[in-house]
Amino acid sequence: MSAAASPQAIVLHFQDVVRVAGETIAGTIDLNLRLAQEERIEKLRIKYRGAISTRITTQNGQQRITHRQTVPLIHSGEIFWEIGSAFPDTGTDIISFPFHFTLPPDLPPSFHCDGHSRGGTISYAIEVVGDRPGLFRSNRRLRRVFVVVPPAFENQMLVVEQLRHGWEGGWRDIKQNEQLRKGIWGEYSRAFVTLTIPDITSLPIGVPIPFNLQIMTETKTLDRTDSPEDKHGKPIFPASPEWAKVEINLRRQTQVRVRNRMRTVEDEYDLKGIRSPAHANKQPVDALVDEPEWVLKEGDDKNRGFWRRRVTFNSTLAFPFAPSSTNAEILQWFYKLHITVPFSGLTNDLKLELAVHLGPSALLPPPPIGVAGSSSGGMNYADVVPTGRPPPMYDLPPDYWTGEHHDWDEKN
């Protein structure tokens, strides 16, 4: 049986959920006055921080220089306690200080990218500081990094609800086709790919997006007596690929700027391996395989033709990534959906690419209980997870949460 955690002079209560720009965040700080006196803490305060930070490293001969730029987004704070300003109730050493802070409504989403000699971060945090004046004494700090996304507009939420309850709106097709040849000689076969997705301008993050991927193949010219399978019982070239071999990736290109310098960071994410909030496991896939169809070749006087095969995959994709950038100044990023359908032979992969815009999927929450504009009640907001929260972000690595590359003021 593990030993109970030793009491701390300062304890922060703050929900670990994704926040929405314009939201009023709230929590509680507990100060153990007895321990604070033992640790010589003389002041308790909180800092609210947010910033866009970029870096580009250049090299001139043997000299490497890292150039940095920071755009402050939030820089605020308040003092809760100083020696002699407040005391705990009889029978306890704890003084509790509730806090709340309204995030600016136009904040860009949390973001992180890291490439060779370049990178950028959009980050947000609250930090509770216990000041310990004097030489050789470091302040006590509790930092909580959190994620911010923009709020969705009413028309965006209508799309979100329609997607969650079964899309009945319009669809659009994205098509690609290629000539394929198993070797370097001989007649070409053909492959056609059609991706069908909801006809919407922006894909809401974290919401399952239904799609239909149809792959149709046509063999080279054959005699009518030729079977669609070879002597080993395998489909003749080009055989329709299995779902497991189809690649569906989201590619992100980020432009990192430091004043007059600009660099690019490329990232790629496997969408088939991402779980959406609606599914505990990977997205289920329905596959429909049609029987081979003999098609007579037009104008062929020998009654020849080709075998046509068709396989259709139906599933959903989730995009739990930072919404496309609009107001991030020195950081801009763009997304492309990239699908690769492999066929045997050299350079026979059929590739389909589509620029996509990711949008928010959650409304601005109401003010916390006890804050002006909220509903009345005696519950502590810090103990209640609000409903209708945005999904966790998939593309934020450990560096984001540890505060690495974040340009925050560490001196105060």
How many domains are there within the chain? 2
* 256 and 396, same domain (yes or no): no
pLDDT category at 233 given cuts 50, 70, 90 is: confident
pLDDT number for residue 163: 95
User: Is residue 87 situated within a structural domain?
Assistant: yes
User: Is residue 412 situated within a structural domain?
Assistant: no
User: Is residue 1 situated within a structural domain?
Assistant: no
Distance of CA 315 to the CA centre of its chain: 20
User: Is residue 411 situated within a structural domain?
Assistant: no
pLDDT number for residue 313: 97
Region 310-333: mean pLDDT is 92
* 18 and 143, same domain (yes or no): yes
What are the CA-CA distances from residue 14 to residues 5, 28, 381, 391 (Å)?
19, 7, 9, 18
User: Is residue 286 situated within a structural domain?
Assistant: yes
- By residue range, what is the domain housing residue 188? 154-359
* 178 and 115, same domain (yes or no): no
* 146 and 160, same domain (yes or no): no
Distance CA 325, CA 322 (A): 8
Distance CA 377, CA 53 (A): 40
Residue type at 296 in one-letter notation: L
CATH number at residue 227: 2.60.40.640
CB-based contacts of 360: which residues, under 8 Å, 6+ apart? 20, 149, 150, 151, 152, 156, 204, 205, 323, 390
Structure tokens at 186: 């001989």
* 111 and 167, same domain (yes or no): no
User: Is residue 3 situated within a structural domain?
Assistant: no
DSSP 8-state assignment for residue 379: -
Q: Tens digits of per-residue pLDDT, 141-185?
A: 999 999 999 999 999 999 999 999 999 999 999 999 999 988 778
* 222 and 246, same domain (yes or no): yes
* 283 and 162, same domain (yes or no): yes
User: Is residue 49 situated within a structural domain?
Assistant: yes
Structure tokens at 320: 């739990």
* 367 and 354, same domain (yes or no): no
* 181 and 107, same domain (yes or no): no
Distance CA 190, CA 192 (A): 7
| Three-state helix/strand/coil letters over 134-156 | CCCCCCEEEEEEECEECCCCHHH
pLDDT number for residue 370: 66
- By CB atoms closer than 10 A (0-12, 13-18, 19+), residue 329 is middle
**Among 394, 399, 407, which residue's Cα sits nearest to residue 109?**
394
User: Is residue 408 situated within a structural domain?
Assistant: no
* 392 and 244, same domain (yes or no): no
**Residues 26/97, Cβ–Cβ less than 8 Å:** no
Residue type at 325 in one-letter notation: S
pLDDT number for residue 372: 62
**Among 378, 383, 372, which residue's Cα sits nearest to residue 100?**
372
* 144 and 39, same domain (yes or no): yes
Structure tokens at 399: 């560096």
Q: Tens digits of per-residue pLDDT, 2-46?
A: 556 788 999 999 999 999 999 999 999 999 999 999 999 999 999
* 224 and 297, same domain (yes or no): yes
For residues 77, 78, 82, 86, the Cα torsion angle rounded to the nearest 10 degrees is -140
